[in-house]
Structure 1
Amino acid sequence: MYQVAILLFHDVEVLDFAGPFEVFAVTEVDGKRPFNVFTVAEHSPVFARNGLSVNPTYRLQDHPDADIILIPGGASLLADGTPLGTRREMHNEVILNWVRRHMRTAELVLSVCTGAFVLAKAGVLDGLTVTTHYSVAHQLQELLPAATVAPEQRWTDNGQVITSAGISAGIDMALHVVSRLLGPEVAAATMREMQYAPGPHSAAGLQ
């Protein structure tokens, strides 16, 4: 069974984490669930975008060993310029050290939307082809001169590291992971269970 740890933090984008959570949680193979999905956070509760209160399953220091870690996005600024979401967490050494530590042992490291900024600051994206929300792609490129930022791509697979574009693209990335690990038939069955119908740009990665 794959252990999947999804990071949560204040002002996280809801669909960024809930979409992939649903994909992994409903996937079945021969009546069994191949993914154990749980959320982790530095603090509890977490207040996501638009005020949703979420109770993470574990804290950063006490969760099971993870085969897959996922960093969602959620970035904004207050009127006075105070950073929120990933704009804040990309400078949080507790979060960055958690990423670096699990980067050494996890089979896959995933990001959704501006979660790529956290991975960038953790130093794991240099030399890779990555994506993020189109509106901040230029900022990610400035942060990562040694990487190629491709905002036109729904997701990018670099082997251990997989990044996705904005918000709903995390669902497509998670389905790609299911396909890669368990086969396209399992990914297709998961889409049917979710009644999810991706567009041509999304489905192409699941063939």
Structure 2
Amino acid sequence: MTTGSPLRVGVFVFDDCEELDVVGPYEVLAWWARHSALRPEVVTFSADGAGVRCAKGLRLVPDHGAADVGPLHVLVYPGGQGTRTLLRDREHLDWVRWMRARVPLMTSVCTGALVYAAAGLLAGRPATTHWGAFDELAVIDPSVLRDTESRFVDDGDVVTSAGVSAGIDMALHLVARLDSPEEARTVRRGIQYDPAPPV
């Protein structure tokens, strides 16, 4: 991706977002930002700039509010139980559509895809989400082409990922796409991400 200004990635946070949905991609993208010659900027932001309490109790203090986060090239929208409130919030869905018109690359982790679907972003498009949320996705928008196998689905200007840890895979894919596969491998080695579950 070539831009006229420094590459900026915004990770949106909200009450009851899933912790790893946020910090998994953030770890990948922030590691990349510190070591890449592109020097991208990675920031967190909430709707009003106030701190949030994640699904399992972790408290986060974001860098910005939605009103002052500034231009973004990539939006990362996590999942978690809090999405069930947001996908019914008309004002929030209007904001998601407003961002869609201004942010070149919209991404989601886990049930963040449900909010994107409710905002109309996934109509007729391939997408994935947490394995336990595909029925909800179908109810929200039956036209979504649900991919139940992939860890992430890149459909050009929208990238969705499956549940929780899949956000790490998606973020590494973003590094490969925005920078290079070599840089993504460097990040993967740097964070020692080499899944081999012990159970």
Q: Same fold (TM over 0.5)?
A: yes
Indicate how the Cα distance of structure 1 residues 49 and 129 shifts in structure 2: closer, same or farther if over 3 A, else same: same
What is the aligned partner in structure 2 of residue 8 from structure 1? 13
Contact 2:114 2:136 in 1 (8 A): no
SS at 1:172 equivalent: helix
SS at match of 2:137: helix
Q: Does 1:59 align with 2:56?
A: no
Q: Which of residues 74, 80, 85 in structure 2 aligns to 1:68?
A: 74
Residue 193 in structure 1 maps to residue 198 in structure 2: no
Matched residues in 2 for 1:5 and 1:154: separation?
A: 21
> What residue number does 2:138 align with?
141
1:158 corresponds to which residue? 155
Partner in structure 1 of residue 3 of structure 2:
none
> Identity rate of aligned residues, in percent?
39
Partner of 1:37: helix, strand, or coil? strand
Matches within 5 A, 1:22-33: 22-27=27-32, 32=37
TM-score under structure 2 normalisation? 0.90
What is the distance in 2 between the residues matched to 1:106 and 1:96?
Answer: 15
Alpha-carbon distance in structure 1 between the residues aligned to 2:103 and 2:79: 20
Match of 1:124 in 2: 121
Aligned length: 190
Q: What SS is found at the alignment partner of 2:56?
A: helix
SS in 2 for 1:10: coil
User: Take 1:29 and 1:42, find their aligned partners in 2: how far apart are those partners?
Assistant: 26
Are the equivalent residues in 2 in contact too, given 1:60–1:98 (CA < 8 A)?
A: no
User: Structure 2 CA distance, aligned partners of 1:29 and 1:10?
Assistant: 28
Q: State the Cα distance separating 1:30 from its structure 2 match.
A: 6.8
Q: Provide structure 2 residue ranges, at least 5 long, that are not aligned to the other structure.
A: 1-5
| C-alpha deviation, 1:42, in angstroms | 1.7
The amino acid of 1:166's aligned partner reads G
TM score, norm. by length of structure 1: 0.87
Q: Report runs of 4+ in structure 1 exceeding 6 Å deviation.
A: none
Match of 1:39 among 40, 44, 65: 44
